[in-house]
Amino acid sequence: METVITALGSGLLEAFQPLNLFMIFAGCLAGLFVGCMPGLGSVNGVAILLPVTFLVPPTTAIIFLAALYYGAMYGGAISSITLGIPGASTAVATVFDGRPMAQQGKADKALMAAAIASFIGGSVSIVLFTLFAPPLAAFALKFGPQEEFALMLLAFATFIGLGGDDIPKTIFSILLGLVLAAVGFDIISGRPRLIFFDMVEFQRGIGFLVLAIGVYGVGEMLWTLETTKGTVQMHKVNIGWQRMKENFKDVKIYINSTWLGSFLGFFVGTLPAAGATPAALMSYGLSKTFSKDPDSYGKGNISGVAAPEAANNAASTGSMLPMITLGIPGSPTTAILLGGMIIWGLRPGPLLFTESPDFVWGLIGSMYVANFVTVILNIALIPVFIRVLAMPFTMLTPVIFTLCVLGVFATTDRMFDNWLMLIIGVMAYFLRKLNYPVAPAVLAIVLGPLAERSLRQSLISSQGDAMTFFERPISLVCILIALLLVSYPLIAKMLKKRNAQQPAQ
Amino acid sequence: MTILKSMLTGAAALALTAPAAMAEWQPRKPVEFIIMAGTGGGADQIARLLQGLIQKKDLSPRPFIPINKPGGSGAEALRYLQDKAGDDHVVMMTLNSFYTTPIIQDELGVDPTEFTPIALMAMDTFLLWVNTDRDDINDLDSYVAAVKEAGLNWKVGGTGSGQEDSVLTAMMEAEFGYDVTYIPFSGGGTVAKNLVGNQIDSTVNNPAEQMEFYRAGNSKPLVQFTGERQAAFPDVPTTKELGIDIEYYMQRSVNGPPNMDPEAVAWYTDLFQTLFDSEEWQSYCKSDGLTCDNMMTGEELAGFHTKQFAAHKELIAKVGAAAITGE
Amino acid sequence: MTVRTAELIMAIALLLASLGLMANIYFGDLNIGWVPGRGPGAGMWPFWLSLGMALSSVATLFRWVTGATPESRNTEPFVAPETIFLVSVSAISILVLLLMMTFIGTYFALMIFMFFFVRVLGKHGWVATMGMVIGTPVFVYLLFEVALTKYLPKGLPVFEEMFLAVDNLRYALFY
């Protein structure tokens, strides 16, 4: 314990050096900016700013990149709330309640909740990281394909009830997402699947962002244009000091969801291959399940913004754990950080903690500072982000479309995905009009490949014996929790009915 | 005002250097640096190191942008490069799936010998790894005995059906007469993690993928599939010493799409030669058990590819494509 | 077309699409069954899920017949006449934007796209129009090409050359 404190102290001192502090500030700002563009995320920012960092020492460089990573994580919520387009898979759940809040003229409240929840999530995660990195890394190793699959079941279980009231249409939407996720090469057999019209472009598969931006950026946008008859302009928000103070007081409404999201997010994030997206979804789902008023979720409940935001920030900090302790990237962004570390002659792996303590603790120290800097920057910039909503629709619409088109292009560098985005968008618009819920499809395309792969890996390793999921303790516990979650709303409803009937008797 | 001034100076400088630049081909836009494998594995580590070095040493007027295309054991990347025929602004970091994937997935319609060979950066090796917890396995004999006893319960992790490690696994099955269960994962890093976490029993990883776990005492090598012992593993016997007829190497070469402009090829060759000779690259080779004695280029590399492609065809015919894909 | 008709057409189209997916996998020579000792084959997951899609479409059709969904009882027009213009113009403008990006490149395409929305549709003043028409491509160039080193589509070689000249200038200045 004492060693941790001294090490952290020296790490914080490192982070507070003028150059490092400046780099943290610059990194957070750049990250925030890149992250708030739909389609662009920390991957773009980190990859591109890598060369800049050759000019500074390795510790400063990684501090800068980590700050950028933090900034981008916060930034993801901004486009989800103001534009209604999830800029990254981690921010999908933030749209569910963030978008309605913006439409009700409460964008500033949603942004504030996102910032504060992110801060708490990040803080919880860093503290846990500091205290328990080695034992958590050992625990993460116990996670094989079986446990991964059980975790995915858990994630699916939490988003039962995210769909609409039309059950066949909701099921259709989930299945469609799962099937679209199977397009491209099958990782297990290496065989191409569902290559429509024999177009080689489909070998690459249908990316999450193509679907998400198609559905939310094009489909939802067309739908909003129609329902508002061209007056997309949101309610104007006048942000004054008074309103900001009020917004701070909202914290007590969503603090429980935030704690839930923070711990859940950290835990899920530390598991290799899981990452921040399932964490955010599970947090949203759980927060809704245990809420006193689950029906208000999806209609602008502030807890619905806080829960996923706390979780995705906690998880992105958590996903640094497998990278630093084991040398395994937990997300594409950490993969690039990993690349940077190799260039600087640092070997991520189990020995990094003991061989380069200055570096590791400098990084951890900078995470504390970056978290502070980002939340302050973010809150200070809320009035700027709100201004976007005050733009007239004939200016906002082309800007949104431009960002969608370029965001999709930037992820895969091919026009094919843009055409796909347009087709998906128009389809989504028609489906939306006919009361097909679209969110389940977007979520399914993220979780589908993870679930299928871990399922098949597990079954290959058990030679086709499905009992393997129940024989392993961690996986069994996850499955039991999943079953509980699926049945919980039913049980709650039954209890409610009984309670309601009793006085009548 | 200063901006305008510097722009004018820049334009003047450009006008002056323009004729010089005409003489030799140089990239005019960012170069796509395709990696035919996922993040965290050997090929990815190498490509990102090279990209970093190019920028650090300012070797290219335009940046190199690494792009991972791991789909279908590299099929996606191969197809992409084939469709880029004649494009001088894309190169690819390859591994042995450069040969194996086109053979196993013949419907892909890719012939690796048609690509433009640029530079063979290194020859990588394979070792057989088990978790250090396995006290009962200390050499190849005890390994084979343990596998035979476990039969299909023995789980070998790898990076994908049709990937070179699945070929090597199939070669071992044929050589020792046992059958194991091969589980594909999404990259070399994930395989290493699953070995250390005891989710799988053994793997044939490259040194780079296991090095840190080996140094930390989490995994141990049993045998190297080489003719000579490598400097990084002086105590590990080779298959040749043990009298086993399996020697298998992994090529780490950079190739361009078919029909590249010869001047562009010359430029890239120079670039990779500079990288190859750099201290950073040579020290990386040493610490990660890569063989980097001399860089093969042009015709010589084309010949090497042809030979390797034919050798892999024979190999796959011998063990059977079904043994590799497991279907 | 009424909402009622639209729901029927959509349900039938989705049913056919699901069957198409099943056929694609079945005839794509993928194993849709359980491989003994290995678990699901490569085609099992997508095939049976597609079947699920087909069944849920059948359920929707059934609910349409019995009038269980609100849409099946709704005889209002599917797309209201006063909004049909707005929605189709927006969708078509994206289509045109993508086409233009392919031929004349991202930057010129964006200028025309902005002009269309801001001036033609929005009837904003010339200052606002020119601000958007020039500001957007400049911003996009700085963000994507300079900061993020993304090479956006430049269109036909003639147009590409123009931007390579801009790039040359930029690299001569800053590299």
Residue C42's closest chain B neighbor by CA? B327
Backbone angles phi, psi at A349, to 5 degrees: 170, 180
Question: Could you give the C-alpha distances from A154 to A275, A387, A484, B187, B304, in angstroms and in order?
Answer: 14, 39, 10, 25, 50
How is residue A44 written in tokens? 């773009």
CB count in 10 Å sphere of residue A416: 15
Which of A480-494, B179-193, C135-149 is most confident?
C135-149
Domain chopping of chain A, boundaries: 2-499
User: Within the 217-236 window of chain A, which residues sit less than 8 Å (CB to CB) from chain C?
Assistant: 218, 221-222, 225-226, 229-230
- Which contiguous run of DSSP H or E holds residue A462? none
Is C151–B63 a contact, with Cβ atoms under 8 angstroms apart? no
Closest alpha carbon to A72 in A55, A92, A91, A51: A91
Share of chain B above pLDDT 70, in %: 90
**pLDDT recorded at residue A505:** 43
- pLDDT tens per residue, range B226-273: 888 888 888 999 999 998 888 888 899 999 999 999 999 999 999 999
**pLDDT recorded at residue A144:** 85
How is residue A82 written in tokens? 């103001």
- pLDDT tens per residue, range B23-58: 588 898 889 999 988 766 778 888 888 888 888 888
Q: Which residue has tokens 């065809």? A: B313
C46 touches chain A (CB under 8 A): yes
Q: In B, which residues are within 8 Å of A195 by CB distance? A: none
Cα–Cα dist B292/B273, whole Å:
12
DSSP secondary structure string for all residues of C18-61: HHHHHHHHHHTT---SEETTTEE-TTHHHHHHHHHHHHHHHHHH
> For chain B, what is the domain count?
2
How is residue B188 written in tokens? 């070399």
Residue B267 domain flag: yes
Cα–Cα dist C70/C78, whole Å:
13
Residue B158 domain flag: yes
Q: In C, which residues are within 8 Å of A417 by CB distance? A: none
Domain chopping of chain C, boundaries: 3-73, 81-174
Beta strands in chain B (DSSP E): 31-35, 64-68, 90-93, 116-125, 127-131, 155-158, 181-184, 202-205, 219-224, 249-256, 296-297
Cα–Cα dist C80/A37, whole Å:
32
Q: CB under 8 Å to A209, separation ≥6 — which residues?
A: A39, A88, A89, A407, A408, A411
Share of chain C above pLDDT 70, in %: 99
Q: Do B140 and B164 fall within a single domain?
A: yes
Distance (Å) from the alpha carbon of A139 to chain C's nearest alpha carbon: 27
Do C114 and B30 form a contact (C-beta atoms < 8 A)?
Answer: no
Cβ-in-10-Å burial (0-12, 13-18, 19+) of C48 comes to middle
Q: In A, which residues are within 8 Å of B216 by CB distance? A: 349-351
Nearest CB to C151: which of B29, B58, B326? B29
Is C164–B28 a contact, with Cβ atoms under 8 angstroms apart? yes
Q: B237 by DSSP, 3-state: which?
A: coil
Is A433–C150 a contact, with Cβ atoms under 8 angstroms apart? no
Closest alpha carbon to A176 in C70, C72, C55, C41: C55
Residue B42 domain flag: yes
Which structural domain, as residue segments, surrounds residue B80?
Answer: 25-124+249-325
Do A288 and A161 form a contact (C-beta atoms < 8 A)?
Answer: yes
Alpha helices in A40-106 (DSSP H): 42-49, 58-82, 92-103
Do B257 and B103 form a contact (C-beta atoms < 8 A)?
Answer: no
Cα–Cα dist A193/A203, whole Å:
8
Cα–Cα dist B117/B299, whole Å:
8
C8 touches chain A (CB under 8 A): no
Backbone angles phi, psi at B110, to 5 degrees: -115, 135
Beta-bridge mates of residue B297? B119
Q: In C, which residues are within 8 Å of A431 by CB distance? A: 10
Beta-bridge mates of residue C39? C35
pTM flag (> 0.95): no
Nearest CB to A175: which of C3, C52, C83? C52
Question: Could you give the C-alpha distances from B115 to A325, B86, B99, C82, in angstroms and in order?
Answer: 39, 10, 12, 57
Cα–Cα dist C170/A458, whole Å:
53
How is residue A373 written in tokens? 């800097």
Cα–Cα dist B19/B14, whole Å:
9
Do C74 and C4 form a contact (C-beta atoms < 8 A)?
Answer: yes
Nearest CB to B13: which of C31, C35, C172? C172
Residue B231 domain flag: no
- Which contiguous run of DSSP H or E holds residue A451? helix A439-461
User: pLDDT tens digits, chain A, 505 residues: what are they?
Assistant: 567 788 888 888 877 888 888 888 988 998 888 888 887 877 777 666 666 667 778 778 878 888 888 888 888 888 889 888 887 778 888 998 998 898 888 888 999 999 999 999 999 998 998 888 778 877 878 888 898 888 888 888 876 666 667 888 888 998 999 999 889 888 777 778 888 887 777 877 888 889 989 999 899 888 888 887 656 555 556 667 777 777 888 888 888 899 999 999 988 888 766 678 888 888 988 888 888 888 888 888 999 999 999 998 998 888 777 777 777 665 666 666 766 776 677 777 778 877 888 888 888 888 888 899 999 998 888 888 888 777 887 888 899 899 999 989 988 778 899 999 999 999 999 998 898 888 888 888 888 888 888 888 888 888 888 888 898 888 899 899 888 888 876 777 777 777 766 554 4
**pLDDT recorded at residue B10:** 46
- pLDDT tens per residue, range A350-360: 788 778 888 88
CATH number of residue B216's parent domain: 3.40.190.10
Nearest CB to A347: which of B192, B193, B212? B212
How is residue B136 written in tokens? 């009962």
Position C115 pLDDT exceeds 90: yes
CATH number of residue B44's parent domain: 3.40.190.150
Distance (Å) from the alpha carbon of B204 to chain C's nearest alpha carbon: 21
B5 touches chain A (CB under 8 A): no
Q: Which residue has tokens 């596998």? A: B147
Is A178–C36 a contact, with Cβ atoms under 8 angstroms apart? no
Q: Do B104 and B132 fall within a single domain?
A: no
Q: Which residue has tokens 């599917």? A: C78
Closest alpha carbon to B213 in B155, B131, B283: B131
Helices B298-319 and B97-104 cross at an angle (nearest 10°) of 50
Closest alpha carbon to A350 in A160, A163, A498, A133: A133
Chain centroid to CA A228: 29
Print burial letters for A42-78: b (CB count within 10 Å at least 16), e (below 16): bbbbbbbbbbbbbeeebbbbbbbbbbbbbbbbbbbbb
Nearest CB to C39: which of A176, A413, A459? A459
Residue of A259 and C42 predicted with greater confidence: A259
- pLDDT tens per residue, range A102-134: 888 888 899 999 999 999 999 999 899 888 877
Distance (Å) from the alpha carbon of C159 to chain B's nearest alpha carbon: 14
How is residue A222 written in tokens? 């067309």
Asked which of B208, B224, B240 is the last residue of a domain, the reply is B224
Closest alpha carbon to A446 in A228, A277, A292, A242: A277
Q: Do B94 and B141 fall within a single domain?
A: no
Is A409–C153 a contact, with Cβ atoms under 8 angstroms apart? yes
Cα–Cα dist A265/A285, whole Å:
13
Is B56–A326 a contact, with Cβ atoms under 8 angstroms apart? no
Q: Do B133 and B120 fall within a single domain?
A: no
What is the DSSP pairing of strand B116-125 with strand B90-93?
A: unpaired
Q: Which chains have at least 3 CB atom pairs separated by less than 8 Å from chain A?
A: B, C
How is residue A476 written in tokens? 């069994």
Amino acid at the residue B280:
E
Do C132 and A395 form a contact (C-beta atoms < 8 A)?
Answer: yes
